[in-house]
Amino acid sequence: MHQRLTSLAPRLRISAPIAITVAAVLTAGTAASAVTLRLSDAQPHHVPAVQHVTQPVAVSKLKLPPAPAPAGVAPSHSAIPLSTARVPRPHKLVEATVLVTASRALPKSTLHSIRHVSGVTAIQTVAAARTNIDGHQAFTLGVIPASFRPWTPNLTAASQALWQSIARGELTASFDMGHQAKLPLSETVAVRDRHRIPVRIGAFASVGMAGVDAVVSRARALQLGMTDGTGVIVSAPHADALAVRRAIDAVVSGKHHTSLLREVVVIRDAGEFLTRLQINTMLRAAASRVGTPYVWGAEGPNSFDCSGLVQWSFARAGIGMPRVSQQQWLAGPHISYASARPGDLLFWHYDPTDISDIDHVAIYAGNGMMLVAPHTGLDVEYVPVAMNSSFAGVVRVDPGIAAEIG
Protein backbone atom coordinates (compact mmCIF):
# COMPACT_ATOMS: atom_id res chain seq x y z
CA MET A 1 0.00 0.00 0.00
CA HIS A 2 1.35 3.44 -0.89
CA GLN A 3 1.21 5.82 2.04
CA ARG A 4 1.62 9.51 1.19
CA LEU A 5 2.73 11.44 4.24
CA THR A 6 1.90 15.13 3.66
CA SER A 7 2.99 17.92 5.01
CA LEU A 8 -14.80 23.24 21.08
CA ALA A 9 -16.35 21.62 23.59
CA PRO A 10 -16.30 23.13 27.12
CA ARG A 11 -13.11 22.42 29.06
CA LEU A 12 -13.44 19.37 31.33
CA ARG A 13 -11.16 18.06 34.01
CA ILE A 14 -11.70 14.34 34.19
CA SER A 15 -9.82 11.69 36.10
CA ALA A 16 -9.56 9.33 33.17
CA PRO A 17 -8.30 5.81 32.61
CA ILE A 18 -7.10 7.08 29.23
CA ALA A 19 -5.13 10.29 28.79
CA ILE A 20 -6.00 12.91 26.13
CA THR A 21 -4.50 16.21 24.93
CA VAL A 22 -6.35 19.51 24.53
CA ALA A 23 -5.92 21.78 21.55
CA ALA A 24 -4.01 25.02 21.95
CA VAL A 25 -5.53 28.45 21.63
CA LEU A 26 -5.76 29.85 18.12
CA THR A 27 -4.54 33.37 17.51
CA ALA A 28 -5.37 34.49 13.98
CA GLY A 29 -4.15 37.28 11.73
CA THR A 30 -4.63 38.50 8.20
CA ALA A 31 -2.65 36.79 5.49
CA ALA A 32 -0.98 40.04 4.48
CA SER A 33 0.51 40.80 7.85
CA ALA A 34 0.41 37.50 9.68
CA VAL A 35 4.15 37.34 10.28
CA THR A 36 3.73 39.42 13.43
CA LEU A 37 1.00 38.67 15.92
CA ARG A 38 0.54 40.02 19.42
CA LEU A 39 -0.67 37.49 21.96
CA SER A 40 -3.47 38.68 24.22
CA ASP A 41 -2.97 38.46 27.97
CA ALA A 42 -6.47 37.09 28.38
CA GLN A 43 -6.91 34.31 25.85
CA PRO A 44 -9.50 31.57 26.24
CA HIS A 45 -8.26 28.03 26.80
CA HIS A 46 -10.28 26.77 23.85
CA VAL A 47 -11.27 28.26 20.55
CA PRO A 48 -14.84 29.59 20.68
CA ALA A 49 -17.22 29.57 17.74
CA VAL A 50 -16.01 33.05 16.75
CA GLN A 51 -12.23 33.36 16.46
CA HIS A 52 -10.51 36.12 18.41
CA VAL A 53 -8.44 38.10 15.93
CA THR A 54 -5.54 40.06 17.36
CA GLN A 55 -4.11 43.28 15.98
CA PRO A 56 -1.02 42.71 13.82
CA VAL A 57 2.16 44.59 14.69
CA ALA A 58 4.29 46.02 11.89
CA VAL A 59 7.79 44.58 12.18
CA SER A 60 9.25 47.66 10.53
CA LYS A 61 8.15 49.76 13.50
CA LEU A 62 10.01 47.63 16.04
CA LYS A 63 13.38 49.12 16.96
CA LEU A 64 16.17 47.14 18.58
CA PRO A 65 17.93 49.20 21.24
CA PRO A 66 21.72 49.05 21.08
CA ALA A 67 22.70 45.87 22.87
CA PRO A 68 25.26 46.42 25.61
CA ALA A 69 28.28 44.16 25.68
CA PRO A 70 27.06 41.72 28.35
CA ALA A 71 29.29 40.04 30.86
CA GLY A 72 30.91 36.93 29.50
CA VAL A 73 30.78 37.94 25.83
CA ALA A 74 34.13 37.91 24.08
CA PRO A 75 35.05 41.37 22.73
CA SER A 76 35.32 40.00 19.19
CA HIS A 77 31.72 38.80 19.42
CA SER A 78 30.25 41.93 20.97
CA ALA A 79 31.99 44.03 18.33
CA ILE A 80 30.33 42.24 15.41
CA PRO A 81 28.12 44.82 13.67
CA LEU A 82 24.43 44.13 13.10
CA SER A 83 23.24 45.06 9.63
CA THR A 84 20.85 47.80 8.59
CA ALA A 85 21.43 47.12 4.87
CA ARG A 86 18.40 46.10 2.85
CA VAL A 87 17.96 42.32 2.66
CA PRO A 88 17.41 41.47 -1.03
CA ARG A 89 14.23 39.71 -2.07
CA PRO A 90 14.78 36.17 -3.42
CA HIS A 91 14.32 35.55 -7.15
CA LYS A 92 12.96 32.07 -6.41
CA LEU A 93 12.37 29.87 -3.38
CA VAL A 94 14.39 26.79 -2.51
CA GLU A 95 12.81 23.62 -1.14
CA ALA A 96 14.41 22.43 2.10
CA THR A 97 14.64 18.63 2.24
CA VAL A 98 16.99 17.69 5.10
CA LEU A 99 18.58 19.55 8.01
CA VAL A 100 21.89 18.22 9.31
CA THR A 101 23.16 19.41 12.70
CA ALA A 102 26.35 18.54 14.54
CA SER A 103 28.02 19.41 17.83
CA ARG A 104 30.99 20.92 15.95
CA ALA A 105 31.35 22.89 12.74
CA LEU A 106 31.08 20.59 9.73
CA PRO A 107 34.41 20.55 7.83
CA LYS A 108 34.59 21.72 4.22
CA SER A 109 35.29 18.18 3.05
CA THR A 110 32.01 16.99 4.61
CA LEU A 111 30.06 19.87 3.07
CA HIS A 112 31.63 18.97 -0.30
CA SER A 113 30.50 15.35 0.14
CA ILE A 114 26.95 16.40 1.09
CA ARG A 115 26.75 18.73 -1.90
CA HIS A 116 27.63 15.83 -4.20
CA VAL A 117 25.08 13.35 -2.79
CA SER A 118 22.87 12.21 -5.65
CA GLY A 119 19.84 14.46 -6.03
CA VAL A 120 21.19 17.36 -3.95
CA THR A 121 20.90 20.68 -5.78
CA ALA A 122 21.87 23.20 -3.08
CA ILE A 123 23.07 23.48 0.51
CA GLN A 124 23.01 26.32 3.03
CA THR A 125 25.22 26.40 6.15
CA VAL A 126 23.91 27.84 9.42
CA ALA A 127 24.78 28.01 13.09
CA ALA A 128 22.58 25.58 15.02
CA ALA A 129 22.28 25.23 18.78
CA ARG A 130 19.96 24.58 21.69
CA THR A 131 19.43 27.95 23.36
CA ASN A 132 17.34 29.40 26.15
CA ILE A 133 14.87 32.14 25.19
CA ASP A 134 13.12 33.94 28.05
CA GLY A 135 13.53 30.83 30.21
CA HIS A 136 12.39 28.36 27.53
CA GLN A 137 14.41 25.76 25.64
CA ALA A 138 14.63 26.48 21.91
CA PHE A 139 16.39 25.08 18.88
CA THR A 140 17.81 28.16 17.18
CA LEU A 141 19.43 28.83 13.82
CA GLY A 142 21.91 31.64 13.16
CA VAL A 143 21.63 32.62 9.50
CA ILE A 144 22.78 35.09 6.90
CA PRO A 145 19.39 36.73 6.17
CA ALA A 146 19.94 37.27 2.43
CA SER A 147 21.00 33.67 1.72
CA PHE A 148 18.59 31.96 4.14
CA ARG A 149 15.50 33.92 3.10
CA PRO A 150 14.80 31.86 -0.08
CA TRP A 151 14.64 28.66 2.00
CA THR A 152 11.53 29.79 3.92
CA PRO A 153 7.80 29.54 3.04
CA ASN A 154 6.29 32.05 0.65
CA LEU A 155 4.65 34.38 3.20
CA THR A 156 7.74 34.45 5.39
CA ALA A 157 10.10 34.98 2.46
CA ALA A 158 7.90 37.80 1.13
CA SER A 159 7.99 39.91 4.31
CA GLN A 160 10.67 42.58 3.86
CA ALA A 161 10.02 43.93 7.35
CA LEU A 162 10.67 40.53 8.93
CA TRP A 163 14.07 40.09 7.27
CA GLN A 164 15.13 43.62 8.11
CA SER A 165 14.17 42.80 11.71
CA ILE A 166 16.41 39.72 11.71
CA ALA A 167 19.27 41.64 10.08
CA ARG A 168 19.04 44.30 12.82
CA GLY A 169 19.63 41.62 15.42
CA GLU A 170 16.06 40.86 16.48
CA LEU A 171 14.83 37.32 17.00
CA THR A 172 12.05 35.65 15.03
CA ALA A 173 10.36 32.85 16.99
CA SER A 174 8.20 30.19 15.41
CA PHE A 175 4.50 30.87 15.77
CA ASP A 176 4.27 27.61 17.70
CA MET A 177 6.85 28.66 20.30
CA GLY A 178 5.62 32.23 20.54
CA HIS A 179 2.10 31.00 21.11
CA GLN A 180 2.70 28.00 23.38
CA ALA A 181 5.49 29.54 25.47
CA LYS A 182 3.74 32.95 25.57
CA LEU A 183 6.78 34.90 24.43
CA PRO A 184 6.36 38.70 24.67
CA LEU A 185 6.33 39.93 21.08
CA SER A 186 8.17 43.27 20.56
CA GLU A 187 9.81 43.06 23.98
CA THR A 188 13.45 42.39 24.86
CA VAL A 189 14.18 39.11 26.64
CA ALA A 190 17.25 37.23 27.80
CA VAL A 191 18.64 34.76 25.26
CA ARG A 192 21.43 32.39 26.21
CA ASP A 193 23.74 29.92 24.53
CA ARG A 194 27.32 30.14 25.86
CA HIS A 195 26.66 33.83 26.56
CA ARG A 196 23.53 35.59 27.78
CA ILE A 197 22.45 38.78 26.02
CA PRO A 198 19.26 40.83 25.67
CA VAL A 199 17.49 40.33 22.33
CA ARG A 200 14.24 41.84 21.11
CA ILE A 201 11.57 39.47 19.76
CA GLY A 202 10.69 41.03 16.42
CA ALA A 203 8.23 38.53 14.95
CA PHE A 204 6.49 35.18 15.12
CA ALA A 205 6.74 33.38 11.78
CA SER A 206 7.25 29.94 10.30
CA VAL A 207 10.52 29.06 8.61
CA GLY A 208 8.98 25.82 7.38
CA MET A 209 11.50 23.55 9.10
CA ALA A 210 10.39 20.97 11.63
CA GLY A 211 11.84 21.53 15.07
CA VAL A 212 13.29 25.00 14.40
CA ASP A 213 12.00 27.28 17.16
CA ALA A 214 13.83 30.53 16.44
CA VAL A 215 16.03 32.34 13.94
CA VAL A 216 18.59 35.09 14.51
CA SER A 217 21.22 36.62 12.26
CA ARG A 218 24.67 35.07 12.09
CA ALA A 219 26.09 38.16 13.84
CA ARG A 220 23.65 37.77 16.73
CA ALA A 221 24.37 34.03 16.89
CA LEU A 222 28.08 34.70 17.29
CA GLN A 223 27.35 37.16 20.10
CA LEU A 224 25.43 34.37 21.82
CA GLY A 225 28.43 32.07 21.45
CA MET A 226 26.83 29.79 18.85
CA THR A 227 29.31 28.04 16.56
CA ASP A 228 28.98 28.86 12.89
CA GLY A 229 28.71 25.96 10.46
CA THR A 230 27.18 23.47 12.91
CA GLY A 231 24.18 23.00 10.63
CA VAL A 232 23.55 22.59 6.93
CA ILE A 233 20.21 22.67 5.12
CA VAL A 234 20.03 20.46 2.04
CA SER A 235 17.75 20.82 -0.98
CA ALA A 236 16.98 17.72 -3.03
CA PRO A 237 13.55 18.57 -4.48
CA HIS A 238 13.31 15.69 -6.95
CA ALA A 239 15.00 12.95 -4.94
CA ASP A 240 13.75 10.41 -2.42
CA ALA A 241 14.16 12.30 0.87
CA LEU A 242 14.78 9.12 2.89
CA ALA A 243 17.47 7.99 0.44
CA VAL A 244 19.11 11.42 0.60
CA ARG A 245 19.13 11.31 4.38
CA ARG A 246 20.69 7.85 4.42
CA ALA A 247 23.36 8.97 1.95
CA ILE A 248 24.14 12.04 4.06
CA ASP A 249 24.43 9.91 7.20
CA ALA A 250 27.01 7.81 5.35
CA VAL A 251 29.27 10.79 4.56
CA VAL A 252 28.99 12.74 7.85
CA SER A 253 31.30 11.45 10.55
CA GLY A 254 30.97 12.11 14.26
CA LYS A 255 27.92 12.92 16.33
CA HIS A 256 25.22 14.48 14.17
CA HIS A 257 21.49 14.39 13.50
CA THR A 258 19.57 14.52 10.23
CA SER A 259 15.93 15.67 10.13
CA LEU A 260 13.44 15.38 7.28
CA LEU A 261 11.93 18.71 6.30
CA ARG A 262 9.34 17.68 3.72
CA GLU A 263 6.77 14.98 3.08
CA VAL A 264 7.88 11.58 1.90
CA VAL A 265 6.29 8.65 0.13
CA VAL A 266 6.85 5.33 1.86
CA ILE A 267 5.79 1.95 0.48
CA ARG A 268 4.69 -0.42 3.23
CA ASP A 269 2.55 -3.55 3.44
CA ALA A 270 -0.93 -2.97 4.82
CA GLY A 271 -1.57 -3.60 8.49
CA GLU A 272 1.83 -2.70 9.92
CA PHE A 273 0.37 -0.60 12.71
CA LEU A 274 0.18 -0.71 16.50
CA THR A 275 -0.93 -3.91 18.19
CA ARG A 276 -3.69 -3.85 20.76
CA LEU A 277 -1.10 -4.36 23.51
CA GLN A 278 0.98 -1.43 22.24
CA ILE A 279 -2.08 0.84 22.07
CA ASN A 280 -3.20 -0.07 25.59
CA THR A 281 0.31 0.37 27.00
CA MET A 282 0.75 3.75 25.32
CA LEU A 283 -2.68 5.05 26.40
CA ARG A 284 -2.17 3.95 30.00
CA ALA A 285 1.21 5.69 30.03
CA ALA A 286 -0.32 8.92 28.71
CA ALA A 287 -3.21 8.66 31.18
CA SER A 288 -0.76 8.31 34.04
CA ARG A 289 0.57 11.79 33.24
CA VAL A 290 -2.78 13.58 33.65
CA GLY A 291 -2.19 16.48 36.04
CA THR A 292 1.48 17.01 35.18
CA PRO A 293 2.26 20.55 33.95
CA TYR A 294 2.78 21.72 30.40
CA VAL A 295 6.28 23.13 29.90
CA TRP A 296 7.51 24.20 26.47
CA GLY A 297 10.25 21.80 25.31
CA ALA A 298 9.71 19.32 28.17
CA GLU A 299 9.97 15.59 27.43
CA GLY A 300 8.76 14.11 30.75
CA PRO A 301 8.22 12.40 32.98
CA ASN A 302 7.23 15.26 35.29
CA SER A 303 6.37 17.90 32.66
CA PHE A 304 5.62 17.83 28.94
CA ASP A 305 4.87 19.81 25.85
CA CYS A 306 2.36 18.34 23.39
CA SER A 307 4.79 16.33 21.25
CA GLY A 308 6.90 15.43 24.27
CA LEU A 309 3.87 13.67 25.79
CA VAL A 310 3.36 11.74 22.55
CA GLN A 311 7.00 10.69 22.30
CA TRP A 312 7.22 9.67 25.97
CA SER A 313 3.95 7.70 25.92
CA PHE A 314 4.83 5.77 22.76
CA ALA A 315 8.28 5.01 24.15
CA ARG A 316 6.63 3.24 27.08
CA ALA A 317 5.19 0.83 24.50
CA GLY A 318 8.59 0.36 22.85
CA ILE A 319 7.85 2.61 19.88
CA GLY A 320 10.33 5.27 18.82
CA MET A 321 8.63 8.49 17.74
CA PRO A 322 10.10 11.70 16.30
CA ARG A 323 10.39 14.52 18.82
CA VAL A 324 8.36 17.33 17.25
CA SER A 325 4.75 17.47 16.08
CA GLN A 326 5.67 18.39 12.49
CA GLN A 327 7.58 15.09 12.19
CA GLN A 328 4.98 13.10 14.12
CA TRP A 329 2.54 14.25 11.40
CA LEU A 330 4.64 12.09 9.03
CA ALA A 331 4.60 8.94 11.21
CA GLY A 332 1.90 7.08 9.29
CA PRO A 333 -0.97 7.38 6.82
CA HIS A 334 -3.54 10.16 7.18
CA ILE A 335 -7.07 8.97 7.83
CA SER A 336 -10.44 10.65 8.36
CA TYR A 337 -11.56 11.65 11.84
CA ALA A 338 -14.60 9.40 11.34
CA SER A 339 -12.19 6.45 11.07
CA ALA A 340 -10.10 7.40 14.11
CA ARG A 341 -9.54 4.79 16.79
CA PRO A 342 -7.78 4.93 20.18
CA GLY A 343 -4.03 5.39 19.75
CA ASP A 344 -4.26 7.55 16.62
CA LEU A 345 -2.74 11.05 16.69
CA LEU A 346 -4.75 14.26 16.18
CA PHE A 347 -3.16 17.42 14.76
CA TRP A 348 -3.88 21.15 14.50
CA HIS A 349 -2.27 24.04 12.64
CA TYR A 350 -2.54 27.58 14.02
CA ASP A 351 0.27 29.41 12.21
CA PRO A 352 -1.19 31.93 9.72
CA THR A 353 2.24 32.39 8.11
CA ASP A 354 2.27 28.75 6.95
CA ILE A 355 -1.09 26.99 6.96
CA SER A 356 0.61 23.71 6.03
CA ASP A 357 2.68 23.79 9.23
CA ILE A 358 1.68 21.56 12.15
CA ASP A 359 1.58 23.25 15.55
CA HIS A 360 -0.14 20.87 17.96
CA VAL A 361 -0.70 17.17 18.57
CA ALA A 362 -2.89 15.05 20.85
CA ILE A 363 -3.57 11.35 21.41
CA TYR A 364 -7.04 10.09 20.52
CA ALA A 365 -8.55 8.01 23.32
CA GLY A 366 -11.87 7.12 21.69
CA ASN A 367 -15.46 8.31 22.16
CA GLY A 368 -14.59 11.86 21.10
CA MET A 369 -11.99 12.29 23.85
CA MET A 370 -8.25 12.94 23.75
CA LEU A 371 -5.16 13.15 25.97
CA VAL A 372 -3.12 16.32 25.60
CA ALA A 373 -0.45 18.58 27.04
CA PRO A 374 -2.26 21.81 26.05
CA HIS A 375 -0.15 24.92 26.60
CA THR A 376 1.66 26.96 29.24
CA GLY A 377 -0.49 27.37 32.34
CA LEU A 378 -2.41 24.11 31.98
CA ASP A 379 -1.70 20.48 32.86
CA VAL A 380 -1.94 17.27 30.86
CA GLU A 381 -5.67 16.62 30.52
CA TYR A 382 -8.34 14.22 29.28
CA VAL A 383 -10.79 16.39 27.33
CA PRO A 384 -13.17 16.39 24.35
CA VAL A 385 -11.51 16.60 20.94
CA ALA A 386 -11.27 20.23 19.80
CA MET A 387 -12.90 20.09 16.36
CA ASN A 388 -12.40 23.56 14.90
CA SER A 389 -11.26 25.20 11.69
CA SER A 390 -7.61 24.62 12.67
CA PHE A 391 -7.98 20.84 12.88
CA ALA A 392 -5.44 19.38 10.43
CA GLY A 393 -6.21 15.68 10.52
CA VAL A 394 -5.52 12.26 11.98
CA VAL A 395 -2.49 9.98 11.64
CA ARG A 396 -2.46 6.24 12.29
CA VAL A 397 1.04 5.57 13.54
CA ASP A 398 3.14 3.02 11.65
CA PRO A 399 6.09 2.11 13.94
CA GLY A 400 8.33 1.37 10.95
CA ILE A 401 7.73 4.75 9.37
CA ALA A 402 8.05 6.52 12.73
CA ALA A 403 11.47 4.92 13.19
CA GLU A 404 12.59 5.94 9.69
CA ILE A 405 11.72 9.62 10.02
CA GLY A 406 12.72 10.08 13.66
pLDDT digits (tens, 9 = 90+) for 284-293: 999 999 999 9
**Distance of alpha carbon 219 from alpha carbon 257, whole angstroms:** 24
Which domain-ending residue is among 263, 291, 321? Answer: 263
Least confident range of 128-137, 164-173, 394-403: 394-403
CA distance 395 to 326: 12
The candidate with the shortest Cα–Cα distance to 171, out of 201, 141, 144, is 201
Instruction: Indicate if 52 and 8 belong to the same structural domain.
Output: no
Residue 177 Cα distances to 43, 376, 396, angstroms = 16, 10, 26
Instruction: Judge if 55 and 180 occupy the same domain.
Output: yes
Is the pLDDT at 18 greater than 70? The verdict is: no
Q: How confident is the model at residue 235 (pLDDT cuts 50, 70, 90)?
A: very high
Instruction: For residue 30, tell me if it sits in a domain.
Output: no
Q: Convert the pLDDT of each residue in 176-222 to its tens digit.
A: 898 888 899 999 999 999 999 999 999 998 888 888 999 999 999 99
**Where residue 42 falls among pLDDT bands split at 50, 70, 90?**
very low
Same-domain status, 254 and 278: no
> Cβ neighbours of residue 280 under 8 Å, at least 6 residues apart?
none
Interhelix angle 241-251/108-115, rounded to 10 degrees, is 150
The β-bridge partners of 348 are 360, 391
**181 and 323 in one domain?**
no
pLDDT for 179 equals 83
| Same structural domain, 337 and 294 | yes
Q: What is the pLDDT of residue 263?
A: 64
Question: Do 196 and 160 share a structural domain?
Answer: yes
* Host domain of residue 394: 2-25+267-405
What pLDDT sits at residue 81? 57
- Average of per-residue pLDDT across 382-390: 90
Same domain flag for 112 and 188: yes
How far is it, in rounded angstroms, from Cα 135 to Cα 40? Answer: 20
- Is the same domain home to 135 and 254? yes
What span, in angstroms and rounded, lies between the C-alpha atoms of 216 and 381?
34
The stretch 124-141 carries a mean pLDDT of 95
Q: Among 2-16, 257-271, 366-380, name the one with the lowest average pLDDT.
A: 2-16
Is residue 396 pLDDT above 70, yes or no? yes
Does 406 have pLDDT greater than 70?
no
Q: How many CA atoms lie within 13 A of 124 on its CB side?
A: 25
Q: How far is Cα 199 from Cα 289, in angstroms, rounded to an integer?
A: 35
**Mean pLDDT score of the chain, rounded to an integer?**
79
Residue 63 phi, psi dihedral angles, 5° rounding: -105, 135
Q: Do 286 and 354 fall into the same domain?
A: yes
The domain tally of the chain equals 2
How many Å apart are CA 13 and CA 15, to the nearest integer? 7
Domain final position from 246, 263, 280: 263
Answer yes or no: do 171 and 305 share one domain. no
